[in-house]
Amino acid sequence: MTPDALEDFLSLSVDLTAFERTDLLGTGLARQYLAKVRDACGEDVVTALLEAHRAARTEAAEDGARPDPQRLDRALRHRIFSEERLGPVARNVIKLWYAGTWYGLPPEWTDSYGAQPAAETSTVTAASYQEGLLWRAIAANPPGAKAPGYGAWARPPAIEDRYLKGRSHDRTG
Amino acid sequence: MFVKFPEGEAKRTDPTTAGGVVYDAVIVGGGIAGALIAARLGAAGKSVLILDAGPAEDLTLRGYESYLDRFYSATNKDNQSPYPVNPNAPMPRGTDARRIFPGVPDSSAYIVQSGPFATDTTYTRVLGGTTMHWEAKTPRMLPEDFQMRSLYGEGADWPLTYEDLAPYYNEAEYEIGVSADVDDQSYLGITFDDDYVFPMQGLPLSYLDQVVARDVDGMPVELDGVQRELRVRPWPQGRNGVPNPAYNGGEGYVPEGAVSTYQVEVGERCQGNNNCVPICPVQAKYHAGKTLARALQNPQVHLVGQAVAYKVHVDEHTGRVTEIEYRRYDKPDSAHFTTERARSRLFVLAANAVENPRLMLASGLRGSNGLMGRNFMDHAYLLAWARLPEPAGTFRGTNCTGGITELRGGRFRRRQAAFSVDIHNDGWGWARGAPMSDLADLVDAGGRYGESLRQGLVDRVSTQLLLAFMVEVPANPSNRVTVDPAYTDHLGNMRPILTYDIPDYTMRGVAYARQLSKRIFARLGAEDHTQYDPSFWGYAVYGGEGYEIRGGNHLAGTHMMGHDRSMSVVDKDQRSWDHENLYLVGGGSMPTVSTSNVTLTIAALSLRSVRAMLDQLAKESAPIRVTSEARAQGLPREVTL
Ligand SMILES: Cc1cc2nc3c(=O)[nH]c(=O)nc-3n(C[C@H](O)[C@H](O)[C@H](O)COP(=O)(O)OP(=O)(O)OC[C@H]3O[C@@H](n4cnc5c(N)ncnc54)[C@H](O)[C@@H]3O)c2cc1C
Ligand code: SF4
């Protein structure tokens, strides 16, 4: 595995998950996740996915500036999410980060692009479940791990403010 | 404080040597019922042999952690996922349930289900039994629950009253280590001794409970002409909280921690892991392994694991049980076994309300009145789910901290079943597989990723509210456990066959529960998302409406206790009417399940029965011959009966 591929995979993952690079590295699982995607889909697919992502970022960034979010969204939809081969894989990468589980690809995907030995639904390690980003997104702990402490449940969930916008009609005062 | 499991104890007792000893008591099953009785008999100086079907492994921290690892790694985290598959002592699994078509029993899983209603009810066959993965809600029964027939003309009366059981509820709350406050738990006739406090203070309500309480507290409900106001009330819990310094007249209470063969620093206060079912990672939750470990510290209490009771042998003339024949498998993954026997003065079956009658029936002991295995009961769960107008947070705290209990009792029980209501802290998990199903849906169907995914998860998951209505099912002789030599397991044990239907009385309660859920959601301004799927295995139609009904894991009724030997299997001490030295203990003895989770009552009944057992042992003192060989090995005294 080249360090470049890992960097590219992280950059893709940041866009797919909306978690910072440091958060993703903090799970300690980035390397294993990349390896998992390779084992499950094959090297070619991973290379194509990373390339498509690079291209999308370039397309969305005029004159080497930071990519414009709206244009990046459009480019990702056009180049990756709607793409027959890459779309399902990208969605699986999202779920891998959020749930810690690699979900088997849909049968039409494997029919077209071949099944790899490691393609079925599986957890990557016991730790991957605990590191799922889903739990952080909803300000909860993964059930059975990372316990928040006695009585913590009596306080409101520590969901980041930006996700509570527009839903605060009776949270005033 | 940790609970010491004597190292090597799970393998120390040699089954064949033990077969040459007559114990004071042989107990089949090391769950909460068996473990409590073993501990108490041992403490009274009696010799005890426990036979348990689960693997003969010491309860160690490492062993416990291997359950946890199996849970973390499982792609399907159902409630048996931490426990290894053991074909020699198979167990039912929630995922087994299939829709049953008339006349075609479903024998694809351990329990053969002949319907008409399919259930996903489960139990666990490992040391410590089903409390390894119970949720540990520990409500007492209401005084009226003991008199259902005379008060409301439904179900059966107990030969005991609430007052008879109350002192044993106190003891059971001590043994389990219950966290609750008397003020919260005194309702609908439940009373406590004047100076009583629970061992530990009540667990705080979750933020979600508090959000629900804001609107539900004070909600008026009229039923059968009686007006009442709902309120959100904390559940008593069998998990460690803050010890109450006022306990036991100011002596306080020391919670029990994790079970291990060496000192460990886990198992103290509940940390809010939200994983009580299927396994509490830190053993803050009570499980019977704690009681078992304590019982086994007594050299008079022995354990043989990998011991599956096969047949109860009875003396034809006296009706007394002479021995239990069991099959001791070599390894969980091999079908090789040796036939062993266990002898004692008293025999106690504590294998749970399905396994007790299964064993009796497989031994040809249907009972002189044919009632063995009949009157199977469980709770019928109806779920209703909605989305709150604001995120109140899900997946935080214990699985459930609060509920609504006003409809557990009242005159309406003449017509329809009572229920209690749980407010689930784990969102729509039970009903619809949240949060993983939401994640998959948002990503695969919703095209969400990045920020819009994070927003979607908060909007969809953190606003979930699920109410679980636990509806009572009265005793009915046609709901029953039977056996048939056509259905056996790996070791040649006959498997339980379950015939189960939900009566109209319960369905009236179910229909009312659904109506009430709609009113509660409306009061909360919540969006009702409840939808019952006609292809669901537990789909039941009543009054033109369909409902998804789930099993309650609260097995009861199959060897019911009563005043009258022609109408019951055991007496109020849980002693068999037919076999004077046999006790069948556990939920099977309960004449009603009513609206409380059964285990606290099982524990109280077990503790109460110990008195009768000790009296009987004192009365039936046969001459005792002590062999030097047995003493040298620390074995119990040999007795000749
Ligand atoms: C998911 C879930 C959640 C629950 N939540 C709650 C709750 O919140 N509150 C509550 O009150 N109850 C709850 N329960 C129910 C509770 O777990 C049981 O009522 C309780 O554990 C029964 O205890 P027992 O000792 O009678 O039987 P068990 O715990 O089933 O123990 C029986 C023992 O007998 C052994 N055995 C079985 N067959 C044989 C045989 N042939 N030979 C030798 N040994 C045998 C088994 O290995 C086991 O150790 C829950 C159950 C489940 C499954
Ligand atoms: S919430 Fe957690 S720490 Fe508390 S009892 Fe449940 S699993 Fe254990």
Contacts 24+ apart (CB under 8 A), B338-343: B338/B15, B338/B16, B339/B310, B340/B15, B340/B16, B340/B18, B340/B19, B340/B304, B340/B307, B341/B19, B341/B313, B342/B18, B342/B19, B342/B23, B342/B26, B342/B49, B342/B51, B342/B304, B343/B19, B343/B21, B343/B22, B343/B23, B343/B26
pLDDT at B380 over 70: yes
* b/e A47-62 (16+ beta carbons within 10 angstroms → b): ebbbebbeebbebbee
Do the beta carbons of residue B475 and residue B377 sit within 8 Å? yes
pLDDT of residue B599: 98
What are B470's strand-pairing partners? B381, B420
* H or E element that contains B48: strand B48-51
Q: How confident is the model at residue A171 (pLDDT cuts 50, 70, 90)?
A: very low
Rounded Cα–Cα distance for residues B378 and B320 (Å):
31
**B266 — contact with chain A (CB < 8 Å)?**
no
B-contacting residues in A 21-80 (Cβ below 8 Å) = 76-77
pLDDT at B426 over 60: yes
pLDDT of residue B112: 94
pLDDT of residue A50: 98
Higher pLDDT, B59 or B501: B501
pLDDT of residue B637: 40
pLDDT of residue A166: 52
Rounded Cα–Cα distance for residues B434 and A126 (Å):
20
Average of pLDDT values for A133-147?
90
Q: How confident is the model at residue A1 (pLDDT cuts 50, 70, 90)?
A: low
Q: Which two tokens stand for residue A169?
A: 């009609």
pLDDT of residue A2: 64
Average of pLDDT values for B335-352?
96
| CATH number of residue B341's parent domain | 3.50.50.60
Go through chain B and tell me how many residues it has.
Answer: 641
pLDDT of residue B634: 43
3-state DSSP call for residue B134?
Answer: coil
* b/e B98-137 (16+ beta carbons within 10 angstroms → b): eebeeeebbeebbbbbbbebbbbbbbbbbbbbbbbbbbbb
User: Which residue segment(s) compose the domain that B97 sits in?
Assistant: 2-640
pLDDT at B529 over 90: yes
Q: How confident is the model at residue B636 (pLDDT cuts 50, 70, 90)?
A: very low
pLDDT at B638 over 70: no
Nearest CA to A73 out of A16, A21, A13 is that of A16
Q: Are strands B527-528 and B321-331 parallel, antiparallel or unpaired?
A: unpaired
User: Does residue B129's CB lie within 6 angstroms of at least one atom of ligand 1?
Assistant: yes
- By Cβ distance, the residue of A81, A103, A144 closest to B447 is A81
pLDDT digits (tens, 9 = 90+) for B46-83: 999 999 999 988 888 888 888 888 887 887 777 778 88
pLDDT of residue B51: 98
Ligand nearest to the CA of B269: 2
Ligand 2, residue A144: give the atom nearest the CA.
Answer: 7
Would you list the DSSP string of B532-600? --TTSTTEEEETTEEEEEEE-S--B-TT-B-S-TTT-SB-TTSBBSS-TTEEE-SGGG-S--TTS-SHH
pLDDT at B563 over 70: yes
How many CB atoms within 10 Å of residue B406?
Answer: 19
pLDDT of residue B266: 65
Backbone angles phi, psi at B361, to 5 degrees: -70, -35
Q: Cβ of A140 and B281 within 8 Å?
A: no
> In Å, what is the CA distance from B481 to each residue of B112, B121, B551?
10, 13, 15
Ligand 2, residue B240: give the atom nearest the CA.
Answer: 5
pLDDT digits (tens, 9 = 90+) for B256-313: 888 887 777 666 788 887 777 778 888 889 999 999 999 999 999 999 999 999 999 9
pLDDT digits (tens, 9 = 90+) for B451-461: 999 999 999 99
> In Å, what is the CA distance from B182 to each residue of B164, B213, B228?
19, 20, 21
B-contacting residues in A 148-167 (Cβ below 8 Å) = 148-157, 159, 163-164, 167
How many CB atoms within 10 Å of residue B255?
Answer: 20
pLDDT at A136 over 60: yes
Tokens 């379950």 appear where? B498
pLDDT of residue A30: 96
Instruction: Determine which of A79-88, B175-184, B625-634 has the lowest per-residue pLDDT on average.
Output: B625-634
Do the beta carbons of residue B623 and residue B639 sit within 8 Å? yes
Average of pLDDT values for B123-151?
95
pLDDT at A98 over 80: yes
Domain total in chain B: 1
Q: Is the dihedral of CA B82, B87, B93, B95 positive or negative?
A: positive
Average of pLDDT values for B485-498?
96
pLDDT of residue B196: 97
Question: Which of A89, A153, A169, A171 to mutate to test binding with chain B, by most B CBs within 10 Å of its CB?
Answer: A153
Instruction: Determine which of A27-41, B165-179, B299-313, B620-634 has the lowest per-residue pLDDT on average.
Output: B620-634
Report CA(A47)–ligand 1 centroid distance (Å).
52
Instruction: Give residue ranges with CB within 6 A of ligand 2.
Output: A 147; B 239, 270-276, 280, 282, 284-285, 398
Rounded Cα–Cα distance for residues A138 and B427 (Å):
12
pLDDT at B160 over 90: yes
Do the beta carbons of residue B276 and residue B303 sit within 8 Å? no
Q: How confident is the model at residue B225 (pLDDT cuts 50, 70, 90)?
A: very high
**A11 — contact with chain B (CB < 8 Å)?**
no
pLDDT digits (tens, 9 = 90+) for B323-343: 999 999 999 888 899 999 999
pLDDT at A124 over 90: no
Q: Cβ of B207 and A154 within 8 Å?
A: yes
Question: Which of B69, B449, B460 to mutate to test binding with chain A, by most A CBs within 10 Å of its CB?
Answer: B449
- B-chain CB neighbours of A148 within 8 Å are 271-272, 396
Instruction: Determine which of B49-53, B276-280, B549-553, B617-621 has the lowest per-residue pLDDT on average.
Output: B276-280
Q: Which two tokens stand for residue B473?
A: 């099912």
> In Å, what is the CA distance from B334 to each residue of B70, B486, B525?
21, 22, 57
pLDDT of residue B81: 81
pLDDT at B631 over 70: no
Average of pLDDT values for B562-591?
97
pLDDT of residue A65: 79
pLDDT of residue B1: 66
pLDDT of residue A3: 65
Contacts 24+ apart (CB under 8 A), A5-9: A5/A34, A5/A46, A5/A50, A6/A30, A6/A31, A6/A34, A8/A50, A8/A53, A8/A54, A9/A33, A9/A34, A9/A37, A9/A46, A9/A50
Ligand 1, residue B139: give the atom nearest the CA.
Answer: 11
Nearest CA to B401 out of B206, B159, B167, B170 is that of B206
Average of pLDDT values for B186-211?
96
What average pLDDT does chain B have?
Answer: 92
pLDDT at B629 over 80: no
- A-chain CB neighbours of B453 within 8 Å are 17-18, 94, 98, 137
Q: How far is A94 from chain B (nearest CA, A)?
A: 7
